Amino acid sequence: MKKLLLLIPCHLLLFATLEAHAASVSVGAAPKGDPNTVAARIIKYNFPQCKRVTTASRLTDGTIRAKCDGIDYRVFTMYVAKEGKMMELAIDCDASKRLLGVSCW
């Protein structure tokens, strides 16, 4: 329970950062490689509570749609120009539509 309470503010901070920097970021394809392996690594890094990625498929835009523990995620990279770095991110499908305008479907 303590981990969950800690994760909620962390994810809210991520969402706030994405919204604040929306004009200076570029969303791109997930890293190359097997979609299941790539998705598992990135989702588990961004959402440590994820235990097992059950499905993952690469979409035509290069991002990956994956399901972990029954939750749908979108896996992608994001270049943050202000910081000059590429980030590997996973975001749940509801948040990706709301914050980035990117649908998982």
**According to the model, what pLDDT value does residue 10 have?**
47
Q: Is residue 105 part of a domain?
A: no
Q: Is residue 71 part of a domain?
A: yes
Residue 36 vs residue 21, higher pLDDT: 36
Total count of domains within the chain: 1
Q: What is the extent of the structural domain holding 83?
A: 2-100
Rounded Cα distance between 35 and 42, Å, is 11
Q: Is residue 44 part of a domain?
A: yes
Stretch 35-47: mean pLDDT:
96
**Distinct helix (H) and strand (E) counts, the chain:** 3, 5
Residue 20: both structure tokens together = 């604040």
Least confident of 38-47, 49-58, 61-70, 75-84: 75-84
Stretch 79-97: mean pLDDT:
86
Long-range contact pairs involving 6-13 (C-beta distance under 8 Å, separation at least 24)? 7/47, 7/48, 7/49
Q: Is residue 47 part of a domain?
A: yes
